Amino acid sequence: MNTISIFSENRHLRAHYNDQQGIAYLQTWLKKYLLQAKNRPVILLCIGTDRSTGDSLGPLTGTKIQKKHLPGLKVIGTLDEPVHAENLGSTLHKINLVYANPYIIALDACLGSIESVGFITLNQGPLKPGTAVNKELPEVGEIHLTGIVNINGFAQYMVLQNTRLNTVWQMSDVICNIFANIYSGYTK
């Protein structure tokens, strides 16, 4: 099953979470981006809430990665302390007060076409969180990862509430493994 898509004009990459070759390719590109973060603190900002199954990808992944204690990676946004619409602005303010010139990788769940459910994307540029539910939130990140957890369309809040936890869990495991593979033995 070859499910990787590459849109090289803006380095938009995506692979289904079951596609080992595609995930390895995403991992390679993420590692290349991280090498550009020379001498900068790397922050993985995991956006979402555990109050909605579909929107829990960020904090669930943040919790799993934080438990691995990966050197050189600061994780913000966990199940204990989620980063969501109400506190995203203040969280970004705190990050910029504590860290000089941070390299922020944003991670969030998103909705897409039925054919795209299960894909993990890697993009250059900032993430625009909240677009699926028509929220105006600050853009964040020099690069960003998204997990397409369900279909976009009518009643996005209901769609997020009725997303299968197994899909979110599996995607979270894959993203966690990507970071663990990159940061095992990583020195900056």
DSSP symbol at 83: B
Q: Transcribe 125-172 into DSSP letters.
A: S-B-TTGGGT-----B-SEEEEEEEEE-SS-HHHHHHT--HHHHHHHH
Q: What is the pLDDT of residues 35-61, one digit of tens each?
A: 988 889 999 999 999 988 888 999 999
Count of structural domains within the chain: 1
Picking from 152, 169, 55, the residue whose alpha carbon sits closest to that of residue 109 is: 55
What is the CATH number for 154? 3.40.50.1450
Q: Is residue 145 a part of any domain in this protein?
A: yes
Q: Please give the single-letter amino acid code of residue 144.
A: H
Q: What is the pLDDT of residues 99-156, one digit of tens each?
A: 999 999 999 999 888 899 999 999 999 998 876 556 788 899 999 999 998 878 666 6
Give the C-alpha separation, 156 to 158, whole Å. 5
Q: Is residue 146 a part of any domain in this protein?
A: yes
Whole-number CA gyration radius for the chain: 15
pLDDT of residue 137: 84
Q: Are 181 and 20 in contact (CB under 8 A)?
A: no
Angle at 103 between CA 39 and CA 145, to 5 degrees: 135
Structural domain boundaries, residue 91: 5-183
- The reported pTM is 0.89
Q: Is residue 188 a part of any domain in this protein?
A: no
